[in-house]
Each structure stands twice: as structure tokens, then as C-alpha cells.
Amino acid sequence: MRKMKIAFAVAAASSVLAACGTGGVLGRDRPDEFAVARNAPLVIPPDFALVPPRPGEPVPQGTDARTQALEALFGGPAPRSDAERQMLNQAGASTAALGARSVAGDPGTTVVDKGAVTRDIVAAPAGAGREANVTTPQ
């Protein structure tokens, strides 16, 4: 039994090493990976009489990189339809405060009282621990 295992191991090793040899299935009918083509030499483009920008001068294109990227991605602002313009006019979009989000938490901002239910939801403990329980009205 022991001799059979050794013979099997030697046969497996020799077949593995034989696969590494030349010829066989892996003949030379594939491209040669060492045949490398040379690239054309780099060419310096013409000057076009460009001058570097001077400090303090305005940028010639007039827009910043972020605006250019947004226009390249999304194509600029889409024209609004008549229905959308009418809806915005009725909602008072032209009179809306530009900084409305920054004054939303201000104590002087008028808010609507949603009642005790909202207060209870906000004051409820986080998670589903022992303190959190649910009651169903009968």
C-alpha cells in the first residue's frame, strides 16, 4: 500500500512537470508577448501665441470649475414649462427668503404647534429597550 502511494505521487509529480515543458498543447500559435511595437515620438504642439495669466486679472471664461463641471454633466438649467412657472408664481417663489434654511431653528421663527404626540415622539427613548413600550387604545 505504501509503495503504491509513493508511485502515485511520483507519477503525479512527473505529469505536472511534463506540462511545464515546451510544445504540447501550448504551441506557438499565440501572439508573442515579447514582440513590442515602438510608439511614435512625442510631438510638441504649436504655440498658438498663448500667454500665461497675470495675477489679479479676471478669468477669461468667467465661470468657476464647479459650474463648468455641473454644466458638462447635466447640460445647464432646463427651461421651465408654463405650468411649472404658473405654479411657482402662485406659491410665491419670487418672494421666498433666500436664507430660509439658516433661520429655521431661530427662536423668533414662527412654527406650528403639532401637539403632544409630536412632543412624545421626540422625547421617546432611542432603541427598543425596556423603556420603550407600545400601548394600543381599547
Q: Which structural domain range is residue 103 located in?
A: 1-123
**pLDDT, position 82:** 93
Q: Is 76 left (phi over 0), alpha (psi -120 to 50) or beta?
A: left
> How many domains are contained in the chain?
1
pLDDT tens, residue by residue, 95-109: 877 777 777 777 777
Residue type for 133, please?
Answer: N
Residue 111, in any domain of the structure: yes
Q: Does 74 map to a domain? A: yes
Evaluate whether residue 132 is within a structural domain: no
Q: Could you read off the pLDDT of 16-69 as tens digits, one per residue?
A: 766 666 555 556 677 777 777 778 888 887 777 777 778 888 776 667 788 888
As a whole number of angstroms, the distance between CA 61 and CA 54 comes to: 15
- Whole-angstrom Cα distance, residue 116 to residue 106? 21
Q: Which pLDDT belongs to residue 87?
A: 93
CA–CA dist 85, 78 (Å, integer):
12
In a domain, 137, yes or no: no
Q: CA quadruple 17, 18, 23, 27: dihedral positive or negative?
A: negative
